[in-house]
Amino acid sequence: MTTTFVSHLECSVCKKRHSVQEIHTVCAGCGKSLLARYDLARARRELRKQDLRSRGEGFWKYRPLLPVASDQALTTLGECTTPLVAVPQTAQKLGLANLWIKDEGLLPTGSFKTRGLALAVSRAKELGLKELCIPSAGNAGGALAAYAARAGMTSHIFMPEDTPAANVVESRAYGADVVLVPGTISDAAKAMNEQRKDHADWFDVSTLKEPYRLEGKKTMGYELAEQFDDHLPDVILYPTGGGTGLIGMWKAFDEMEQLGWIDSKRPRMISVQSSGCAPIVRAYEEGKAQSEFWEGAATVASGLRVPKAFADYLKATKEHKPDMTVAVFYDGKKHKEVKITGENLFSFDNKFVLEGDAIASGKHTVELRKTGTGPLYFNAYLSYFSLEDFITSAGLEVKVMCQGPLQGLGLRGRGLAAAQARQGRFLVVAGEGPVAPVRGVLAQGVELAA
């Protein structure tokens, strides 16, 4: 089987061709995003769908339709095919034929960012790059740190200073150089670009500022088609920050149609944004081709706090393309934002999203995208529940020892109320329940013991 059918890079706007054998960021002609293109006519003749799908687990099975040719460059941490989890009780309550959640939290770094950064790092290694940099609001930084470490490369990660501690600690644990910056991811990007002036060897893997993260994200579309036996769902709800996943899935569907694997029918794509940071929603509602910078961006879903996405022209246009309806929705009620936006999207939180947008009737199959694992967003949980709620629900015992400061834990509830204002440290002693729900606060002074 051919290692890869990749043929060239193409500008998403002016269509200028670029060599896939050379290092590129954006189009040399107009500065817009580049897209990897494949010899799909040849692939249609030579590539059998079932041969590809029988190659085992994980997105690297689709390698002939990915841009990495070298076995030595391919960087993996044992990725799985993320499961589709049926939620029939919730579907019944909503009057839906089927409701599924695709759980991206089972990927090696705990979120769908694994996909894009695995491809970006692999291609960077294949092209001979040594040092990579990225601005990140959380999960992308952790994914870059992990895959760069695996590839023997150096990573520089610039994060807003209020990025969840779990993401910061994870990135540093993998050996990344982490710089915390006041403000949002836009400010982190500015700080990174300032430092890049003195480091010409740093390669920027920001969203859509290089061609290969998108190729990783498109594997969500290939997996979805395979898991639904090539009958795509009617509706896909997708939490959107930079929006690469939406573009990637659409690219995958287009490629599969050219390969003869699926027909021209497309899902209705729902881009879900926080009411505190919704530039794509606003651009869509106003009929604009590009979004405007969202001032005062704020949301507990840190990965979605993207005030202005690069290449938003690829997703913001209010346009009905052939066989595709682009629809954008957000709740608009700030007190509910964690329940609709986060890379912590759970079945019990989705009811009002579907009802509020009136997107579905009983005949529809709806797929919700859970883009990351919950413990990475422990601070978001504490906006709605006390630490004690999680500890007691997990069957854990709590002991408080007054030794050091308790800061940022949001403690409340019966057993811990007195400790909230004290100086002290927690020792959580496991009972019969799991300890995983509280691992996310390790960096804030919590210790766990079996």
Strand pairing partners for 155?
A: 132
Average pLDDT taken over every residue of the chain = 75
> Which contacts of 289-296 are long-range, i.e. CB under 8 A and separated by 24 or more positions?
289/313, 289/316, 289/317, 290/316, 291/316, 293/186
pLDDT tops 60 at residue 378: no
pTM: 0.75
pLDDT tops 60 at residue 338: no
Residue type, 377: Y
How far apart, in Å, are the Cα atoms of 38 and each of 44, 220, 255, 276, 371? 11, 18, 9, 39, 27
**How many angstroms separate the CA atoms of 22 and 62, rounded?**
23
pLDDT tops 80 at residue 341: no
Q: In this structure, what token pair is assigned to residue 257?
A: 């149609």
**How many angstroms separate the CA atoms of 208 and 233, rounded?**
26
Give pLDDT, residue 293. Answer: 82
Residue type, 439: R
Residues 372 and 109 sit within 8 Å (Cβ to Cβ): no
Burial class of residue 135 in the structure, from the number of CB atoms within 10 Å of its CB (0-12 exposed, 13-18 middle, 19+ buried): buried
Name the residue with higher pLDDT: 315 or 430.
Answer: 315
**Helix intervals (H) in 266-386:** 279-285, 337-341, 351-357, 378-381
38 confidence band (pLDDT: 50, 70, 90): very high
pLDDT tens track for 104-147: 888 999 888 999 999 999 999 999 999 999 999 889 999 999 99
Q: In this structure, what token pair is assigned to residue 328?
A: 């954008």
Q: In this structure, what token pair is assigned to residue 131?
A: 């040092």
HSE of 355, CA atoms in CB hemisphere, 13 A: 10
245 sits in which H/E element? helix 244-259
Sole residue written with tokens 């007190």: 335
Domain ranges, ordered by start, for the chain: 70-384, 385-449
**How many angstroms separate the CA atoms of 322 and 312, rounded?**
20
Crossing angle of helices 213-227 and 244-259, rounded to 10°: 60
CA dihedral 415, 380, 118, 155 (to 10 degrees): -90
Q: In this structure, what token pair is assigned to residue 124?
A: 């960077």
pLDDT tens track for 231-286: 998 888 888 777 788 889 999 999 999 999 999 998 888 777 777 888 877 777 77
pLDDT tops 60 at residue 375: no
CA dihedral 384, 387, 388, 394 (to 10 degrees): 100
CATH class of 70-384: alpha beta
